[in-house]
Structure formats: C-alpha cells, structure tokens
Structure 1
Amino acid sequence: MGAYFPLFINMEGKRVQVFGGGKIAARRVLTLLEFGARVKVTAPMISKELEKLAEQENSLTLEYRRYQRGELKEVDLVLAATCEDKVNDMIFMECRQKEIPVNVASDQEKCDFYFPGVAKEGEITVGVTAGGKNHKKAKKVTERIRELLKEIC
C-alpha cells in the first residue's frame, strides 16, 4: 500500500457515524467534535467519557444498540471501532458498496483514510500519521509539534 496523501477537509456539519463506544471511539469523537462534525455513536455499551461528552455537546448523539446491516444512509464518514472483527468487516463492506469513506480502527488495510494525531494552536493545524504502522512514534511527534506550536503561536 502506498503513502496516504494528507488532505484537510472542512468537517463543519459533516455527519460522522461511529460504531463502537470505547477508548478509541472516544478519542476520535472528541477530535471530530473540535472540528465541528455532527457525530452519532452506536454501540451496545458506551463509555462514561462519551456519555459525559454527549451531555455537554449537542453535536453528539448516542444510540445503545448493535450495528444493523443496511443502516448506513446520509453519512459522510464512518469509523468502525467495535471490538468485533466480524462486525467491523460488515461495516467496511457496507461502506464499500455505498461508496462511503471508512476507517476500520483494527485493520489499516480497510481504511480509506487514517485518523491523524492532531496538533492545533490558533489557526495552525498539523496532522501526523505514521502510515498506520507506528502509532507511538506518531504520538510522540504530535506531542513535540504541539509544544512547538505553543512556543510559536
């Protein structure tokens, strides 16, 4: 697989469907909300962190249930972050059929886009990825960039 092109898009009002309610989903939802996305999280169990966030954030809705085949309609992006590979695969296949960009958190081969580390200060936004391979290195680089942005901005 080749390198991914870094593309910045306006997320304001974009409809993002997240399947899974754990740590990975919570981290990604928080970032998406910072950029103005409208996010729906669907999972049988949803973390306390996401529940608290939903109480404060009108752009976040929670549905306590499992993914249902054929349910993807009127969404701009999908994140599959369930703990079940079979469910993530079904979500991936539905997104492929409907030409909806998808990120499957557990399988980099099933990602139309990667979720970067984000460093933001004022009007400057930097996205960092290690091509889905070395998350620790990408996190370390992101943290250093955040420090640098705080110094400069």
Structure 2
Amino acid sequence: MQYFPLFLDLSNRAVLVVGGGEVACRKIDSLLRAGAQVTIISPNIEPYLQRLVEQDKCVWIQNFYSSEHIRAEYVQVWATTNNPELNHQVYADAKKARILVNVVDDQPFCDFITPAMVNRGRIQLAISSGGASPVLVRNIREQLESMFAQNLGYQAEYAASKRNDIKRVLPSVDDRRKFWERFFDHPDIEHCKTRQQFETLYQEMLYAEVEDKASITWIEYGEDVELLPLKALRLMQRAEKIFHEQFCPFGFVDLVRRDAEREGFISEIELAAFLEDVRRDKLRVCVFIPPNSTKYHLLRGDDLFIRLGKA
C-alpha cells in the first residue's frame, strides 16, 4: 500500500493554491466544498475564480509566487501551474516548511494524492490506483456510481439523527450494530424518499422481536482471495469472530470486519472447543478451512459451507 487512505477535515483550515488556471479551478472547487479557506497566488486567474473572489469565497494574491508566500498557517499547498520549474520550487518551499504539498500531475512531487470520489451526501467512497492508472480508476468509479442507491446519503443522515434515540432503546453496542444491519438490509430501504418513510420503517423494526442465535459459516480458503464468493464476503463483514487454520493466507483473514476477533487453530479438538463457546454466546462466526478438507465434516454438520470459486 503506497498511500495511507485518509479523509482530512479542512473546515476553516487555510490552504494555498499556486496558479489560477483550469487545473486550479477544479482543485479549488473541491477545496471550497470541503470548507477550506483558500488563498490563490497568481498574476492572473480564470473568470470562474474571479467570481469566487468577488463573492468572498477565497482570497487572491495578485502576484508572482515567491518563497515568502509559504506560511505555517497553511495545512496544504497545491502547485497547479503549467511551469514545472515553478511547481518544483513550490514543492521545495513547502517541504522546507513541513507543509503537505501536491504538485498536480507530477506524482514524485506529491505528499498526498486525491482519489476519484463517489459522493452520496455523508457517504463518500474514494478510489485510487496510487497514480498508476487514472483511466482505470475512472471506470471503477463509474461502475460504483451505478451500484449504489441514490438515497444513500439520506440513509446516512437519518441514521445520524437517531444516534441518541437508539442508545436509549438499545444500550448495547452489539445490539445497535445488529439493528442497523437489519435496517439497512431491509428491501424497502432503497425506496425511502422522505423522513417519514424512514421513520415508519425504523419504528417497526426497532420494537420487533428478534431471536439471537449462533451462526457458523465455513469458508474454503485457497491461494487467490479474488475467488471468494460475494456471499462469503458479505458474511465475513457480519461476523463477530473469525477462526482460521494456521496455514490460511493472511489475505483472507484481512478481508473480514476490522473489529472482529481473530483466532487461529491447529486441530479439530481446539476448534471444537472454540465453537462450543460460540454457540453458547450466540455469536456470528466464520471458519476458514483448506479446500477439499474432510476432517471437519463432523464439526460442520448442517452449518453453511461456502466453497472457493474457480479461476
């Protein structure tokens, strides 16, 4: 992983953009939508930026760039000119001042890069190839745009509005998580267009009786994690515990829910003891076992078993 993924809060934070052309327009538009306080340095700027300045949405220093323009108050510096030598000077000055800097379309001179985004209100999905293939990233973004419900942002807004209310009814973190899983899985959720529709569904499900029981899913591992079926990936994101044989590749275990407990085992006897605790505590569990293994048949019983796909 070349870049650490991070969402940065730029609300009321000072950002410097060197350059006033079309590239600067695109970057400044995104920065302003994130709430940044943008200062532009350039002898000339595009009409779009001129309008932003006239509306007091950003500040324009009408001058050529010099090293004195770099100040500690800036949390980011963007170099967007069509002059590589000038951009590299901006980079060197920002690095000297220990400020994060991005020289647009010049990856070796970037402390950070901006991903392609899928925006649904509060929901933001970022896709990046680390600068390797912008066209591939664009294609992925287009696919994701078609996959996600248009009301995804409203779903997030509604859930945020209920954070205090649901704590009153469901004090347990686990109970709240399970409720929201059921709520967002409901077939009607994608069709809710008004707050009242969300509220009706919420009230119906919040007070409905739900029987908790243990759920054990057995999943074959192999050499290629991309062969995992979608159903396995979905259940792995719901599991509260993961058991994996000692030779299971880390790539499979790494795809499970981040806060799920992970436990390795070396024998059927050890695993049987683990599963006894699972059934007693009514947990949702995934167990990774090698392909074509027969030694776990008795333990599996009638549990769900998912085979690895074929290449």
- 2:138 & 2:20 partners in 1: Cα distance? 22
Counterpart position of 1:98 = 97
2:58 to 24, 47, 60: 60
Comparing both chains, which one has the higher relative contact order based on Cα–Cα distances under 8 Å and sequence gaps of 6 or more?
1
Deviates more, 1:127-136 or 1:108-117: 127-136
User: For the Cα contact (< 8 Å) 1:37–1:59, is it kept in 2?
Assistant: no
- What are the equivalent positions in structure 2 for 1:22-37 lying under 5 Å apart? 22-37=21-36
- What are the equivalent positions in structure 2 for 1:126-141 lying under 5 Å apart? 126-141=125-140
User: For the Cα contact (< 8 Å) 1:43–1:64, is it kept in 2?
Assistant: yes
Q: In structure 1, the residue corresponding to 2:150 is in which secondary structure?
A: helix
- 1:87 & 1:137 partners in 2: Cα distance? 30
Q: In structure 2, the residue corresponding to 1:151 is in which secondary structure?
A: coil
Counterpart position of 1:43 = 42
Q: In structure 1, the residue corresponding to 2:93 is in which secondary structure?
A: helix
Give the root-mean-square deviation of aligned CA atoms: 1.8
Q: Which runs of 5+ in 1 are unaligned?
A: none
- 1:37 & 1:150 partners in 2: Cα distance? 29
Identity of aligned residues (%): 29
Q: CA deviation at 1:152?
A: 5.0
Q: Which runs of 5+ in 2 are unaligned?
A: 153-311
- 2:89 & 2:129 partners in 1: Cα distance? 26
| TM-score (structure 2 length as normaliser) | 0.46
More helix per residue = 2
Greater radius of gyration (CA): 2
**What do the CA deviations read for 1:1-45 (whole angstroms, capped 9, x no partner)?**
x51111011111111100111121111111111111111111122
- 1:82 & 1:60 partners in 2: Cα distance? 18
Q: 1:150 to 1:40 in 2, by over 3 A?
A: farther
Deviates more, 1:59-68 or 1:25-34: 59-68
Q: CA deviation at 1:47?
A: 1.1
Deviates more, 1:117-126 or 1:76-85: 117-126
Residue type at the aligned position of 2:27: R
**What do the CA deviations read for 1:39-90 (whole angstroms, capped 9, x no partner)?**
111112211122223334x331122221112321121100011111111111
